[in-house]
Amino acid sequence: MSDFAIEATQLVKQFPARAGTGDKPLEGEASQGPEKKRWQFWKKKPQALFTAVNGVNLQIQRGEVFGLLGPNGAGKSTTIRMICTLLEPTSGTATVNGFDVVKQANEVRRNLGTVLAGERSIYWKLSGRENLEYFAALYHIPAAIAKKRVEELIERMEIKDRANELVEKYSTGMRQRIAIAKALLARPPILLLDEPTLGLDPQAARNLRELIATLKAEGHTILLTTHYMEEADLLSDRIGIIDAGKVIALDTPANLKARIEQQEIIKLEVSGWQEYVGEKLRSISEVSSLVARQQGEADLWEVNLQSHNSRAVLPKIVENISQNGTRLVNMNVVKPSLEDVFIHLTGKALRD
């Protein structure tokens, strides 16, 4: 058996691309003359492909909380879907508790509890209890044990008073608790949580983070995907940063932040932001990266700069910003966060 709870080696997933979006040219298309094309009219064209996951390697220890971090479309969910057997890798291998995700898919499913992103993974026309009883049967839990287990999870998720109500009457947080209870039904050693706090209110998200910490203490291995930096920082023993289908950094949160310790992070709040101001700031030699994003509806922008020498660069920043209607509202020099690590590695913000 593999030493790792989850191990992925050179995992690749390619999908047929929509017109104009493929990452591979159509084979031989450019070299074909009109004569040859005519004769091959009836033949199927070579399919253009889009690579969603491109050679991902992961080794997740037993009992570890591993955060997979990346922006939308980075390949997080595709990686999760391959690990939980919903998708077959184009190439490469992955094992869960030593079982191959393609050749031993059923064993993988028995060893995994998965919560996929979104709140439609349970039946809204069934009650919370009926949902759990139903999924207990699907996970082949014997009837007598299932009954006890469902009660246990209803207590644990604090939904006892409303367990017999239809899920359609639940709040988003309650639905998410049922989805997590469903994943825990068969007491799987490994949990895959895909964006588990997405759409939850702050209190529900905090409760869920506490639950994840408890599950880790109980010995579960947890693979967590999120695009909330603070969440990944708080919960994860190690973090893999994924961008454009590749793991571009993998380490503990502390070590990742230490990578850019010599960098100083300058956070600005600017009104009337213009893109040409950004170009001017980027051209300052001491500035190593810059990301600007609008805050809400107002004309207020958060500008994140990284520099080796904030003392030298600050006057130049102020000088370049305060012109043509652009106004500096606030400015801070802060310690690097995981988000800054991400910006440093990719040149873009996580929530872009």
Place of tokens 């995994």: 112
Does 218 contact another protein by CB under 8 A?
yes
Report the nearest approach of another protein to the CB of residue 158 (Å).
21
Number of H helices, E strands in the chain: 12, 14
Question: Rounded to whole angstroms, what are the CA distances from 62 to 82, 185, 191, 217, 340?
Answer: 19, 19, 11, 12, 29
Cα dihedral 151, 156, 159, 164, rounded to 10, equals: -10
Residues 279-338 that bind another protein (CB under 8 A): none
Does 92 contact another protein by CB under 8 A?
no
| Backbone region of residue 84 per phi and psi (left: phi > 0; alpha: psi in -120 to 50; beta: other values) | alpha
Does 50 contact another protein by CB under 8 A?
no
Does 112 contact another protein by CB under 8 A?
yes
Binding mask 169-208 for another protein (x = CB under 8 A): -------------x--xxxxx-------------------
Q: Are 56 and 8 in contact (CB under 8 A)?
A: yes
Half-sphere exposure of 347 (CA within 13 A, CB side): 4
Of the candidates 56, 61, 60, 62, which has an alpha carbon nearest to the alpha carbon of residue 82?
56
Does 3 contact another protein by CB under 8 A?
yes
Binding mask 8-27 for another protein (x = CB under 8 A): -------xx-----------
Mark the segment that binds another protein (CB under 8 A) among 117-125, 169-177, 311-319, 333-341. 117-125
Does 110 contact another protein by CB under 8 A?
yes
Mark the segment that binds another protein (CB under 8 A) among 26-34, 107-115, 265-273, 327-335. 107-115
Q: Which residue's CB is nearer to another protein, number 112 or number 232?
A: 112
Cα angle at 86 between 179 and 352, to 5 degrees? 75
Does 142 contact another protein by CB under 8 A?
yes
Complete DSSP assignment for 189-233: SEEEEESTTTT--HHHHHHHHHHHHHHHHTT-EEEEEES-HHHHH
Question: Under the rule (CB under 8 A), what is the footprint of another protein?
Answer: 3, 15-16, 61-64, 78, 81, 84-88, 106-107, 109-112, 114, 116, 118, 120-123, 125-126, 130, 133-135, 137-143, 145, 149, 166, 182, 185-189, 218-221
